[in-house]
């Protein structure tokens, strides 16, 4: 029994000695990180940001560097969507960065990427605008892609999409035309509209400003007539007087066409 206990103590001491040696070797300054290889075809993450993270966040040598902390530091950069960090023997750290690919602005407070995810970053690009409940960003990004492909042959494209709390969708086009799509069958309604656009709205002598596509057998369009342009009550702008005129006479300035 005594011999067995002595052997166990010797074995434990050997393990502890080995651990201490490994700990000392790993923490010696003989395994420094000499290279940080940042990959990803970056458009927004710049050299200064990378150098700042390397200098401030990357503490330790090849073995002791905290990869989770390093990954988190890169993910804090505004345009970074995803980061993968790994060691490459003997002295390299590989950092693979996936940036957000911007699709639209969101309520003037954020951006939407092509995956329908919201992120906070600055951009001077001319972008379409989305607004609505934040949990609808993915749905609106998918709709935007489908609507853009559908309208492209007509030289039309969405520039603003608004989704109400009741999930009713309104789309403004590059011509200024506003489309009221409602909540149900929005793709079907837009397909019908696109199918007759060239023989209806494209032929109007006056520019259309609004189209309500929620009718089951067609759609209603408001267009600016010569008479409406002339109506300018004192102290009112043309836009304000036009809004009132629409409110007063629901039957004026509208046409119905089969879809």
3-state SS of 131-164 is ECCHHHHHHHHHHHHHHHHHHHHHCCCEEEEEEC
pLDDT of residue 64: 85
| Residue 198 parent element (H or E) | none
Angle 151-152-157 (CA atoms, 0-180°, nearest 5)? 65
CATH superfamily of 32-99: membrane protein fhac (3.10.20.310)
User: Between 15 and 246, where is the model more confident?
Assistant: 15
pTM for the whole structure: 0.77
DSSP 207: P
According to CATH, the topology of domain 102-258 is Rossmann fold (3.40.50)
pLDDT for residue 45 is more than 90: yes
Q: Examine domains 32-99 and 102-258 and report if their fold is the same.
A: no
- The alpha helices in the chain, defined as continuous H runs, are 2-27, 47-57, 67-75, 137-151, 186-196, 226-230, 238-248
| Predicted pLDDT at 252 | 39
| Interval 211-239 mean pLDDT | 64
Residue ranges per structural domain of the chain: 1-30, 32-99, 102-258
103 close to 135: Cβ distance less than 8 angstroms: no
Token pair belonging to 68: 């989770």
Helices (H), 58-136: 67-75
* Locus of tokens 């002598």: 205
């Amino acid at each position: 029994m005594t011999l067995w206990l002595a052997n166990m103590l010797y074995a434990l001491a050997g393990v502890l000695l080995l651990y201490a040696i490994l700990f000392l070797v790993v923490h010696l300054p003989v395994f420094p990180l000499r290279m940080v290889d940042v990959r990803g075809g970056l458009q927004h993450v710049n050299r200064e940001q990378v150098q700042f993270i390397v200098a401030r966040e990357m503490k330790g040598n090849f073995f002791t560097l905290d990869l989770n902390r390093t990954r988190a530091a890169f993910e804090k950069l505004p345009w970074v969507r995803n980061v993968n960090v790994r060691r490459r023997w003997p002295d390299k750290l590989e950092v693979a960065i996936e940036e957000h690919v911007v699709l639209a602005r969101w309520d003037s407070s954020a951006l939407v990427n092509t995956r329908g995810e919201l992120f906070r970053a600055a951009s001077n690009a001319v972008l379409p605008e989305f607004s609505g409940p934040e949990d609808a960003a993915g749905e609106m990004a998918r709709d935007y892609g489908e609507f853009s492909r559908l309208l492209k042959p007509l030289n039309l494209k969405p520039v603003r999409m608004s989704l109400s709390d009741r999930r009713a969708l309104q789309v403004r086009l590059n011509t200024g035309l506003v489309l009221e799509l409602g909540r149900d069958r929005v793709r079907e309604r837009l397909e019908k509209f696109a199918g007759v656009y060239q023989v209806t709205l494209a032929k109007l002598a006056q520019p259309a400003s609004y189209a309500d596509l929620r009718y089951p057998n067609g759609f209603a369009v408001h267009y600016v007539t010569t008479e409406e342009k002339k109506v300018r009550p004192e102290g009112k702008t043309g836009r304000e007087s036009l809004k009132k005129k629409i409110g007063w006479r629901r039957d004026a300035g509208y046409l119905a066409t089969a879809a």
